[in-house]
Amino acid sequence: MEGIAMRYFVLFLFAFVMWLILTWPADWQHIIVGVIVSIIVMVLFGRLAVVGEVKMFDPKRWAWFIVYLVVFIWECIKANLDVAYRVIHPRMPIKPGIVKVKTNLKSDIARTFLANTITMTPGTLSVDVDGDELYIHWIYVRDETVEGATKYIVGRFERFLAKVFE
């Protein structure tokens, strides 16, 4: 029973902190509403949202998550500039296609995070996830082989996500 209570508490805490971030600077009315909304979220989604042991409090994971965010922001800036170049270039040099990449990530949350990261990076879009394979629409296919596409697309993020989620 202790593990279940901890799961619900972590969900409540996460929801409340997100509420505070979104409503900052918060006055006492926002805080009261935030507590109420967080309790509702905890009751409705407690069983669904948090599965497995709680690894959220490990400082190493947070440090790796910060590193991941820095890498993601840098890759996002580079991808934005690349897509902007392709849009304003007179001949619009694109070579679109769907490529298959493989991931070594084992947990569903890590794979979901990877797919969402790829989608949020301009020029790529996650189309499907099938086990350890992802199908990605790429604005300029540099390498059609699974290994090459995996290196270009997944290699930038996978090692950091593995340290955060696995």
155: amino acid identity, one letter: G
Domain shared by 96 and 45, yes or no: no
Distances 144 to 11, 32, 96, 101, 117 between C-alpha atoms, Å: 41, 54, 11, 10, 21
Domain shared by 97 and 151, yes or no: yes
pTM: 0.68
Residue 54 lies in a domain: no
pLDDT in the model for residue 78: 92
Domain shared by 63 and 89, yes or no: yes
Domain shared by 41 and 68, yes or no: no
Domain shared by 99 and 157, yes or no: yes
Mean pLDDT of 5-10: 76
Domain shared by 39 and 118, yes or no: no
Does 1 have pLDDT greater than 50?
no
Domain shared by 102 and 147, yes or no: yes
Mean pLDDT of 27-40: 89
Which of 32-41, 64-73, 86-95, 127-136 shows the lowest per-residue confidence on average (mean pLDDT)? 86-95
Does 149 have pLDDT greater than 90?
no
Of 143 and 58, the one with more pLDDT? 143
Domain shared by 33 and 71, yes or no: no
pLDDT in the model for residue 165: 80
Domain shared by 64 and 15, yes or no: no
- For residue 24, the enclosing domain spans 2-49
Residue-wise pLDDT for 80-103, tens only, equals 999 999 889 888 888 889 998 999
Number of domains comprising the chain: 2
With tokens 């409503």, the residue in question is: 23
